[in-house]
Amino acid sequence: MRALLIALPVIALYVALAAVTFVPLTWIIRDIRPIYWVARQGCRLALALAGVRVRFVNLENTRKHRVSIFVSNHVSNLEPPALLAVLPRIAFILKKELRRIPLLGYIMGLGSFIYVDRTRADSRHHALEQAKQTLADGVSLMIFPEGTRSRDGQANRPGRGAAFVARRAGVPLVPVALRGTFALWPATRFLPRLRAPGGLGIRFLEPLDPAAFPDDAALIEEAMRQVYEALGQEPFRERAPQV
């Protein structure tokens, strides 16, 4: 708790300073790279202050293609900052509610993050079109196919959105296995535990070629099967639903 009491005001100060320096700079030079840099450093700072030790394996699998779509299990709010701390330039597809976070939601919007209203089909379609454009602009995507966080740490049914975009944009799908995030900050807790045996582990698996699969469902099911196999867990066994 003491680490959290130190981390929260420091992070708030960091976000405020970023807003008054890097956001205007982004508008002046018409380049969003400063936003990515400040986000990456901010995530590293937050994790360090909170005492969260991050280990990653097979980082070379993130560099095999110009752009990729990364997909992973989703059980904790720690996963986005952990991935941002490791990957240099990446955009997330996020639920629209996160855009309401004061200041932070605006900054994430500048960084090409894509917001989607999960209750509206037209919003999902628009988000998929934005995703294809983001990839065309040279920015990789991070998508959580299971949608909302799992409350018990077990696999939820994956949607086909990530596979849909990957197959039509012609970019690889990279499965990512995140270990330890549920122990540190499960969806049932308001604040993280900060300390847990083993810390937080990120394993990047071999990229999957969408052309090698007959349809979107087969692609996303194989990606998530590999994720849960790496974690030693059972994947969701039903066919993926249409997005």
Cβ(174)–Cβ(68) under 8 Å? yes
Given a contact cutoff of 8 angstroms between Cβ atoms, the answer to whether 140 and 89 are in contact is yes
In 10 A of CB 24, how many CB atoms?
11
Q: Which residue has the higher pLDDT, 31 or 60?
A: 60
User: 182, 200 in Cβ contact below 8 A?
Assistant: no
First and final CA of the chain: distance in angstroms?
40
DSSP element (H, E) containing 108: helix 104-110
CATH label of the domain that carries residue 178: 3.40.1130.10
**Average pLDDT in the 22-26 region?**
70
**24 found inside a domain:** no
Domain assignment present for residue 236? The answer is no
φ, ψ dihedrals at 60, nearest 5°: -60, -25
The tokens for 173 are 């799908």
pTM over 0.95: no
Question: Are the beta carbons of 180 and 33 closer than 8 angstroms?
Answer: no
Within a domain: 210: yes
Residue 32 has pLDDT above 80, yes or no: no
Cβ-contact 81, 43 below 8 angstroms: yes
In a domain, 47, yes or no: no
169 assigned to some structural domain: yes
Express each pLDDT in 157-168 by its tens digit. Answer: 899 999 999 999
Burial class (CB in 10 A: 0-12, 13-18, 19+), 58: middle
Look at residue 13 and tell me if it is in a domain.
no
Give the residue numbers spanning the domain of 166: 52-231
Q: How far apart are CA 181 and CA 212, in angstroms?
A: 31
* Residue 183 falls inside a structural domain: yes
Q: Is residue 130 part of a domain?
A: yes
Q: Is 181 exposed, middle or buried (0-12, 13-18, 19+ CB in 10 A)?
A: buried
Contact 141, 70 (CB under 8 A): yes
CA gap 45, 239 in Å, rounded:
40
Q: What is the pLDDT of residue 237?
A: 52
Q: How many domains does the chain have?
A: 1
Run of H or E including 169: helix 161-169
Between 164 and 194, name the one with better pLDDT.
Answer: 164
CB 128 within 8 A of CB 117: no
Q: How confident is the model at residue 112 (pLDDT cuts 50, 70, 90)?
A: confident
Q: In what order do the strands lie in the sheet with 140-143?
A: 54-57, 200-204, 173-179, 69-72, 140-143, 90-95, 114-116
Residue 37's nearest CA partner among 61, 51, 21 is: 21
Average pLDDT over residues 42-58: 86
